[in-house]
Structure 1
Amino acid sequence: MKKSLLFFVLFALGFQVTIAQDDVLESVFESAFDDTNIFNANLGLTNIDGQNYFGLRVQPEFTIGKLGVGLDIPLLFDMENGQIRTEEFKHGAGILRMIRFLRYGNKKTDPVYIKIGDLTGEKLGYGSLIGNYTNATSFERRKIGASASILIKKTYGLEVIYSDLNFNGSTKLLGIRPFMKPFGQSSIPIVETMEIGVSTVSDNDNYQEVGATEVTTKYSSSGIKANSFDVGVSLIRTQMLNLGLDAQFSKLSKNNLLASDNPTANYGAGTGFAIGLESNFKFIANTVYMNARIERQWYGDNYIPQFFNFAYEINKDARMQELLTATKSQGIFGTLTAEILQSIKIGGSLMIPDDMDSNDPNSRRAIVGLDLETKQIGKFKAKGTYVKAGLNNLGDAFSLDERSLANLIVTYKVNSFMEAGVDYQWTFAENENGVFKAINQVRPYVGVSMEF
């Protein structure tokens, strides 16, 4: 695994040497939250699923030029027997789980981008297949994934997403999207921004915990495949507004094993189509920066838009079985993110079908998501994410259950280098018996926090 990780890094850096003479893509829409240099080391009590631990967690995060590094090093001791807790290193990425992320460049703005670690928020192309994705559904069994994008001479490009560099079992989720900007070297307005891409996504994951009592990769092990075609263009590009238009056609292939296990279901390959508008807008001096996307979706039987999203990694078999009852429909997907005074970043997303019916358990389901991040405001700072899938009633959107992922950290600055805070985690993942269950973690702490 370590050799594979090293090869991936050298591969990406090799591409950087190849295209070093290419101009960096310019973007005036830069987030104030992208570049962080902070050292956190906190000591406190942690309650994980009813069991108490006491210990230290070191979480530095640095950005040097185009290189970003984030670590998470836990040292927790069981308060009953005094033994160090090793569960976080026994599964998934093992010792490499200490790498939260290793990043070079910024996606869509630099000719070379590579990220290793937590892939939360990654998407392939415009997101019709892999969108609103995360490989971090479990804090306990953290995965180390890889995402990369290159653009050569402003014309030819390639995007790759791989969900898990732990190679136990067969190939995990792999997405590849070669793309082309046929007029990228021209200076013709609008036309020069045109981008055409073809995506293929596959998963043959057959990994099961040793001694697992529940099989959760029966259908993914037999293989799931999907393909899409997309085209996009930027209609307006100014210092204050960037407005883009895109169209996507996608197909989810039939899983033969799923079909044979459900012979009475009307199940086969499914297709979908979407047209989207995305805009970036800012006032002078970045007092307010907004990103908004609205997408009209049409999907046929046995098709789910953004099929490979955050819910996919929770339970792959359960996600695939949702295709059996997915019927022809239409819907809306929208996101809105705002940064205010370079101090507060808040965002939300909603995918809602036209025919969602709270009285029909087989009707199309909605997805809701929220994000919050602040700089130091007075003595306080906060960061949190929340997503929930499988909703047939928006009134149930904010109750925590097996369809939810949540994390919230609130800190209070005691002095120039000390802080106190609370870290809350709600994840839903496979335990050592192969059974999926919610894991609730609350961690009040005090520690050192220094920004550079």
Structure 2
Amino acid sequence: MKKVLFFALLFLPLWLMAQELPFTVKSRTKFSSSAILGYEKVDSVRYYQLRFIQEFNLWKFGLGLDLDFLFDKRISLRKDEWNELEDLLDKIYYLNYGKKGDTFFFHLGGFPGLTLGNGLVMQNYSNMLLYPDLRKTGLMLGGSPHWPTQPSFELFASDLQRAPVLAMAARFKPLPDSTLKVLDQINLGFSLATDTNQYGNLRHLVADSLACDVDLLGRKPATVFGLAYTLPMVKNEKMTLGHYVEFSHILNYGSGVILPGIYADFKALRVNLEYRLYGGQYVPAYFDHYYEEDRAVTQEDELDPFVTKVESLASVKASRGWNGSIQATFSHKVKTRFAWQNMIGRKLKTGKSIWFSVWVDTQYKRLENVSLSYSKIKTERMSIQKFYEPNTDIKSYLTFRISKKRWFLIAKYSESFRDRNKDGRINWIKEVRRSVGAGLKYIY
């Protein structure tokens, strides 16, 4: 079969394009080929980018190769990513076998959003946040043996080459043969995540003038563990009603608990409501989506210019409040989710968060799907008075079929607002990350 290559032109830096796994389309053929032409910023230097992505699928195996070439203004290749043997590992976009729920599975490559349990330990963590400045090849493996206790487990490493974030999660039913119908459904879980060195990313984030200071730093680990149970109270073909409890603790610091969490699952509609209690020196989802940026940051102190995320917990006060979420699916074509958080506490001004997303499989003529997501976390109010408030993310996607099951037009747009200097305002030049992308993909 003749191999077809194509190219896609991106109009602005590919921050978001680089952080997501390849687009999925309806065609179930074994191979696909992509090419992207655009530009990137690495260490504040702009490069032209030529990127080839090859995807192969055979039985339960999947392989994606990411061949990324960066050229400066003189069209000279940036060789830093091609001159060592270990650089070849970074060219693996993904290598996987099976999926969660199988007897055994593994995934090697990028992880755009990983959550453990109900999110007290890790929620929406990404090892791809600093791409292309820092490329990380992570690994997850796990399985669900067919035993009476229905166990399942996952082991995770964010990077196979550098100081990684390590995590594990396991769950099982301790009383599967109980004569009490309620107790035979109880599910116990345990999760653990540790950062082996919170200074691991500093060299890629600080100014060159501080590079020598970074080299003198020792190792600063951080560990969080969690315990949980889930108990369905009513379960039949139409619905499941139950509750859950989760406890987590940041080693040598504070603790938090969901007590209780209540859920109702009606197949097409799922509702969750949680009451949460956080002690002092504790934050939920310690390993969150922005963790790779927040592991350690600089501060205005000549004697101690760096502070880790775990050290910043010393000033965190206790809080309490409610979390809730509603997820709905309509005819397997529309999926939507709305979630909110309202935490209150002494001197706590940023305890509110909202999340919203909608995905539509249109099947309208050639329009394949459309999606939109909006989130605003750790803010003073949930109302949307200004869409560009700190800690706000907006993303949209579109897939359009050009020809029958072969050519697809893909478009993305995103904005991310981060208050990096902690002044409560957004600098539109330094604190806004925008991405507009358009490209093509060919399936063969």
TM-score exceeds 0.5: yes
1:418 alignment partner in structure 2: 407
Give yes or no for contact 1:229–1:249 (8 Å, CA) kept in 2. Answer: yes
- Which one of the candidate residues 286, 290, 300 is aligned to 2:279? 300
1:447 alignment partner in structure 2: 440
Asked if 1:379 is matched to 2:366, the reply is: yes
One-letter identity of the residue aligned with 1:378: K
Give yes or no for contact 1:45–1:443 (8 Å, CA) kept in 2. Answer: no
CA RMSD of aligned residues (A): 4.1
Give yes or no for contact 1:190–1:234 (8 Å, CA) kept in 2. Answer: yes
Give yes or no for contact 2:144–2:153 (8 Å, CA) kept in 1. Answer: no
Q: TM-score, normalised by structure 2?
A: 0.70
CA separation in 1, counterparts of 2:103 and 2:216? 39
Asked if 1:399 is matched to 2:383, the reply is: no
1:341–1:296 CA distance, 2 compared to 1 (3 A): same
1:11 alignment partner in structure 2: none
1:90–1:336 CA distance, 2 compared to 1 (3 A): farther
2:210 alignment partner in structure 1: 213
CA separation in 1, counterparts of 2:178 and 2:433? 54
CA separation in 2, counterparts of 1:229 and 1:424? 38
Asked if 1:309 is matched to 2:288, the reply is: yes
1:270 alignment partner in structure 2: 254
What SS does structure 1 have at the residue aligned with 2:184?
Answer: helix
Deviation larger for 40-49 or 301-310? 40-49
Gaps spanning 5+ residues in structure 2: where? 1-23, 297-307, 419-429
1:432 alignment partner in structure 2: none
One-letter identity of the residue aligned with 1:369: W
1:365 alignment partner in structure 2: 351
CA separation in 2, counterparts of 1:292 and 1:40? 40
Task: Name the count of aligned residue pairs.
Answer: 382
Asked if 1:154 is matched to 2:148, the reply is: yes
CA separation in 2, counterparts of 1:406 and 1:72? 26
What SS does structure 2 have at the residue aligned with 1:197?
Answer: strand
CA separation in 1, counterparts of 2:38 and 2:249? 48
1:285 alignment partner in structure 2: none
What SS does structure 1 have at the residue aligned with 2:106?
Answer: strand
- Which one of the candidate residues 109, 119, 133 is aligned to 2:111? 119
TM superposition shift of 1:270: 1.0
1:235 alignment partner in structure 2: 233
Give yes or no for contact 1:406–1:427 (8 Å, CA) kept in 2. Answer: yes
Asked if 1:320 is matched to 2:320, the reply is: no
One-letter identity of the residue aligned with 1:413: R
Gaps spanning 5+ residues in structure 1: where? 1-31, 255-268, 283-288, 430-436
CA separation in 2, counterparts of 1:378 and 1:363? 48
One-letter identity of the residue aligned with 1:415: S
Give yes or no for contact 1:44–1:443 (8 Å, CA) kept in 2. Answer: no
* Identical columns (%): 18
Deviations 1:102-138 (A, max 9, x none): 444443x434343333333422233321223322323
1:22 alignment partner in structure 2: none
1:35–1:410 CA distance, 2 compared to 1 (3 A): closer
One-letter identity of the residue aligned with 2:330: I
Deviations 1:221-264 (A, max 9, x none): 3222223221112233333333442111222122xxxxxxxxxx
Give yes or no for contact 2:122–2:285 (8 Å, CA) kept in 1. Answer: yes
What SS does structure 2 have at the residue aligned with 1:327?
Answer: coil
